[in-house]
A and B are shown apart, each in its own frame.
Chain A
């Protein structure tokens, strides 16, 4: 029994899991049929969901660490609290700008404006992708020894891949 199960946490969806597969299927269905604007708005929403999932996992990790160290001396607890705040860097970097940009592109009045906003979205996507694949913090979180399978890198990478397809 993994700690995740022991803590009654939801299973971590992987790219091949049913949740991810459902999302991919939804994206696939709409890919051809829906007009570009609608797909961009859906992609914006999908990214917000991915961001939300990542937030939940990081929060769960923080809670697990705090639970494990709950009886630590106050000085160490304080140190740990400070250290855990650093985990927020991930979602402060890989934030909602992508969703905002996709939504702006989706609501653009004409093709010219849409293309301009998509260039912005692409730049943000590249920044995120660099951070997710090369940033040490994401890997550090996934390698945590507190038994919480965060799977942040695959989660964020899958979310970015979906966004990239629409862009």
Chain B
């Protein structure tokens, strides 16, 4: 590669690129671009290159759209689950609760909806074509509020607080914040000051080669394997009409009919033997008679049971398939669906014909004819439902990304052989996942789930045998335990507290290699708009990670002067202050009501300056 200059490195880092990962790999001395000379080896305007570029753009668009559609399915389902959860909540429990308590429970039970607001905001920008289908950023609060009101709980809360409007208002405000801020952000109110805080894991970066202390990684390298949901599912409204378990039930009946056939054969054999002996005038021993009686009883019982099963399953099948036919034929404009509906109707009639023949003359052979007809129609419907459904792989992809990150760590750790094998498997999974999207092959999907589980198991085994830790954060560790000589390592190990006090809001960031805590405080009298807080937390997270990355910067590692290092750290954290300064506060009662979407009873408290939350570390950097 062309050597990345300092300016280029900074520019890339401005896009969130962790250039620290480059340092871990030694530069190729034979590189033709050694020395910083840019030597592009292709013509960007050539038709081939433009075709590649355009194809890349289209692929990315398609990928974004697919991801967004999958997440949308999950979000809508989660909102419906939240509603169902609240409707089922015992009245007594709900009467004792509050908006904050309910929102807290909802965020814990359904963590995916905690990120809904931010996701809607990001997706409406990233996939504008989906804007009309996205829920409101306030959808979670709306669902909670409407369900609580529908159950009459809000009135009860007002009465229980003696109509203390201050309590009612603060409860709503905090719940509204909770509904729109990421799940990790905790919200509380103390003495009229709203306090929001977020705890993050320390980012581990690789230090330049040769500078890692021998004691580095005493606790072992860290890899993250937290996302354990790697299910691949098909989402389709049609599943509601067609019960995918029906086919399994008929297969079971078919198996049982075969068993009954065998029982009948055994009985007939025993009967033949008995009759043959009778015919020959031979003595019929008691055990032979008993054996026949036993077989006869076994057969009769199994046959009776089978007939009952056929009756029950046939009734359910006829109802379900009729519903499926109606569903498929509902949209006259959807030709494929209507065709599938007509096909299913024909198959249903064939099944009904077989059923009639069986009811007229019940026999095991007739049952097998029925099961074959039922299998044909249910197999076709299953295929139709899968074909018209959306394959949801978001959880799987998240887990796969996490797995790949862990494999990268293994590679850097020198576990090259096992890592190479696992990397090959992980890459295969990515390729096959595309096949699943295209073919909707659920059998292949099940294989992928199993393979991913196996790969993750191998990673865990590799780290357990290496006495390393498996924790949150998927980057190379070395900063935390490195050295004791390099000032930035010492600063991050001992921890630094950054504080800023402003008219609108104040914040404190406590950062060390054990993790970080970012806290924001402002007066309830002049609450900060949620969008500003979303931006602030996002910016803080990014800049704090930049701060950790300083440990991988060769230039910063050479800084010995404490003041110079402090200035460098201030420079990295400065964008948080800029973001805080841009935050919009809501001064009027009407503005607050409009922004959060709830009505305010009584007076809203007066605003005031909030001091920054308390710092943890002895070295404090104010700016």
Task: Tell me if A3 is interfacial: C-beta within 8 Å of chain B.
Answer: yes
Q: Is the CB of B11 within 8 A of A88?
A: no
Shortest beta-carbon distance from B128 to chain A in Å: 5
Q: Is the CB of A84 within 8 A of B2?
A: no
Closest 3 pairs between A and B when the two form their complex, measured CB to CB: A73-B25, A83-B15, A83-B17
Q: Is the CB of B11 within 8 A of A9?
A: no
Q: Is the CB of A68 within 8 A of B1?
A: yes
Shortest beta-carbon distance from A65 to chain B in Å: 8
Additional A-B contacts beyond A69-B4, A73-B24, A76-B17 (13; CB < 8 A): A10-B45, A55-B57, A64-B40, A64-B44, A70-B1, A72-B1, A75-B22, A79-B17, A83-B17, A92-B125, A92-B126, A140-B15, A144-B11
Task: Tell me if B43 is interfacial: C-beta within 8 Å of chain A.
Answer: yes
| Residue with the highest number of chain A CB atoms closer than 10 Å, among B33, B44, B128 | B44
CA distance A16 to B24 in the complex (A): 47
Q: Is the CB of B60 within 8 A of A88?
A: yes
CA distance A80 to B18 in the complex (A): 8
CA distance A144 to B127 in the complex (A): 26
Known: A73-B25, A79-B19, A95-B128. A68 touches B45 (CB 8 A): no
CA distance A8 to B126 in the complex (A): 31
Closest to A145 in B: B7
Task: Tell me if B154 is interfacial: C-beta within 8 Å of chain A.
Answer: no
B24: A residues at CB distance < 8 A: 73, 75
Interface string of B18-62 (1 = CB under 8 A from A): 110110110010010100001011111100010001000100100
CA distance A8 to B47 in the complex (A): 12
Pick 16 A–B contacts, CB within 8 A, sort by A: A10-B45, A64-B40, A68-B8, A69-B4, A71-B31, A72-B22, A75-B21, A76-B19, A79-B19, A80-B17, A83-B16, A85-B60, A89-B125, A89-B126, A92-B125, A140-B15
B43: A residues at CB distance < 8 A: 7-8
CA distance A157 to B349 in the complex (A): 66
Task: Tell me if A165 is interfacial: C-beta within 8 Å of chain B.
Answer: no
Task: Tell me if B12 is interfacial: C-beta within 8 Å of chain A.
Answer: yes
Closest to A92 in B: B125
Known: A83-B15, A144-B11. A76 touches B21 (CB 8 A): yes
Task: Tell me if A59 is interfacial: C-beta within 8 Å of chain B.
Answer: yes
B17: A residues at CB distance < 8 A: 76, 79-80, 82-83
A84: B residues at CB distance < 8 A: 15
Closest to B127 in A: A92
Closest to B43 in A: A8
Secondary structure at the B interface, as helix, strand, loop or mixed, is: loop
CA distance A125 to B11 in the complex (A): 29
Q: Is the CB of A73 within 8 A of B22?
A: yes
Secondary structure at the A interface, as helix, strand, loop or mixed, is: helix
Q: Is the CB of A140 within 8 A of B53?
A: no
Residue from B16, B42, B45 in contact with A86 in the complex, judged by beta carbons closer than 8 Å: B16
B22: A residues at CB distance < 8 A: 72-73, 75-76
Known: A71-B31, A140-B11, A146-B8. A7 touches B40 (CB 8 A): yes
Q: Is the CB of B11 within 8 A of A73?
A: no
Closest to A100 in B: B128
CA distance A48 to B353 in the complex (A): 61
Task: Tell me if A96 is interfacial: C-beta within 8 Å of chain B.
Answer: yes
Which residues from chain B sit less than 8 Å from chain A, CB to CB?
Answer: 1-2, 4-5, 7-8, 11-12, 14-19, 21-22, 24-25, 28, 31, 33, 38, 40-45, 49, 53, 57, 60, 125-128, 408, 412
CA distance A70 to B11 in the complex (A): 17
Shortest beta-carbon distance from A62 to chain B in Å: 8
B11: A residues at CB distance < 8 A: 140, 143-146
B127: A residues at CB distance < 8 A: 92
CA distance A89 to B123 in the complex (A): 11
Task: Tell me if A6 is interfacial: C-beta within 8 Å of chain B.
Answer: yes
Which residues from chain A sit less than 8 Å from chain B, CB to CB?
Answer: 3, 6-10, 55, 59-60, 62-65, 67-73, 75-76, 79-80, 82-89, 92-93, 95-97, 140, 143-147
Shortest beta-carbon distance from A117 to chain B in Å: 17
Known: A69-B2, A83-B15. A9 touches B45 (CB 8 A): yes
CA distance A71 to B41 in the complex (A): 12
B16: A residues at CB distance < 8 A: 82-83, 86
Shortest beta-carbon distance from B283 to chain A in Å: 86
Shortest beta-carbon distance from B458 to chain A in Å: 20
Q: Is the CB of B57 within 8 A of A59?
A: yes
Q: Is the CB of B126 within 8 A of A79?
A: no
Known: A92-B125, A145-B8. A71 touches B40 (CB 8 A): no
CA distance A9 to B50 in the complex (A): 11
Q: Is the CB of A68 within 8 A of B40?
A: yes
Shortest beta-carbon distance from B405 to chain A in Å: 10
Closest to B15 in A: A83
CA distance A10 to B45 in the complex (A): 8
B40: A residues at CB distance < 8 A: 3, 6-7, 64, 67-68
Q: Is the CB of B19 within 8 A of A88?
A: no
Shortest beta-carbon distance from B592 to chain A in Å: 23
Q: Is the CB of A87 within 8 A of B15?
A: yes
Shortest beta-carbon distance from B24 to chain A in Å: 7
Shortest beta-carbon distance from A93 to chain B in Å: 6
Q: Is the CB of B49 within 8 A of A63?
A: yes
Shortest beta-carbon distance from B33 to chain A in Å: 7
Q: Is the CB of B12 within 8 A of A80?
A: yes
| Residue with the highest number of chain A CB atoms closer than 10 Å, among B17, B18, B38 | B17
Known: A3-B38, A79-B17. A9 touches B44 (CB 8 A): yes
| Residue with the highest number of chain B CB atoms closer than 10 Å, among A6, A79, A93, A95 | A79
A63: B residues at CB distance < 8 A: 44, 49, 53
B31: A residues at CB distance < 8 A: 71
Q: Is the CB of B5 within 8 A of A145?
A: yes
CA distance A84 to B56 in the complex (A): 12
A64: B residues at CB distance < 8 A: 40, 44
Closest to B9 in A: A145
Q: Is the CB of A68 within 8 A of B60?
A: no
Shortest beta-carbon distance from A148 to chain B in Å: 9
Shortest beta-carbon distance from A71 to chain B in Å: 4
CA distance A26 to B84 in the complex (A): 60
Closest to B61 in A: A88
B14: A residues at CB distance < 8 A: 140
CA distance A60 to B31 in the complex (A): 24
Q: Is the CB of B1 within 8 A of A69?
A: yes
Q: Is the CB of A79 within 8 A of B18?
A: yes
Shortest beta-carbon distance from B245 to chain A in Å: 41
Q: Is the CB of A71 within 8 A of B125?
A: no
CA distance A101 to B53 in the complex (A): 29
Q: Is the CB of B49 within 8 A of A79?
A: no
